[in-house]
């Protein structure tokens, strides 16, 4: 009878240890899943690319988007960086990816045709 009690106690301890290991593995998997979900949520901007384009086009009516970049700035606010073209002007517009506010609006003359002095760079 002592052997039976020892086997029963050993079996219960073994099951408890196995159950604890399974629980620990399940808890770890759950935490890893939550961490990856929060990482994805942290990366996904509240303002979509389409919304950022709409905001920029309202800022510079009659223009077209020639470039769009998402800049994840770590501790600073993430930003959509857009380059728009309207005639000979190039507009750089930054849109806050969280609030949708324009944080930068800069105009540069498109100098591809502006400084044409007839010299194409060839030394003929």
pLDDT at residue 77 tops 60: yes
79-96 per-position pLDDT tens digit: 999 999 999 999 999 999
Confidence of residue 109 (pLDDT cuts 50, 70, 90): confident
User: What pTM was computed for the model?
Assistant: 0.55
In CATH terms, the fold of domain 49-109 is Nuclear Transport Factor 2; Chain: A, (3.10.450)
Rounded Cα distance between 8 and 79, Å, is 63
Task: Give the other-Cβ count within 10 Å of 52's Cβ.
Answer: 25
| Domain regions of the chain by residue span | 1-44, 49-109
pLDDT score for 83 = 97
Reported as half-sphere exposure (CB side, CA atoms, 13 A), residue 94 has a value of 10
């Amino acid at each position: 009878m002592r052997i039976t009690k020892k086997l029963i106690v050993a079996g219960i301890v073994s099951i408890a240890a196995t159950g604890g290991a399974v629980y620990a593995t399940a808890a770890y998997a759950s935490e890893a899943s939550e961490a990856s979900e929060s990482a994805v949520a942290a990366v996904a901007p509240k303002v979509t690319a389409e919304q950022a384009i709409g905001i920029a086009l309202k800022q510079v009516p009659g223009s077209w988007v020639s470039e769009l970049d998402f800049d994840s700035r770590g501790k600073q606010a993430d930003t959509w960086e857009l380059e728009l073209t309207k005639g000979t002007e190039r507009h750089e517009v930054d849109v806050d990816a969280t609030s949708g506010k324009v944080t930068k609006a800069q105009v540069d003359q498109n100098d591809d045709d502006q400084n044409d002095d007839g010299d194409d760079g060839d030394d003929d």
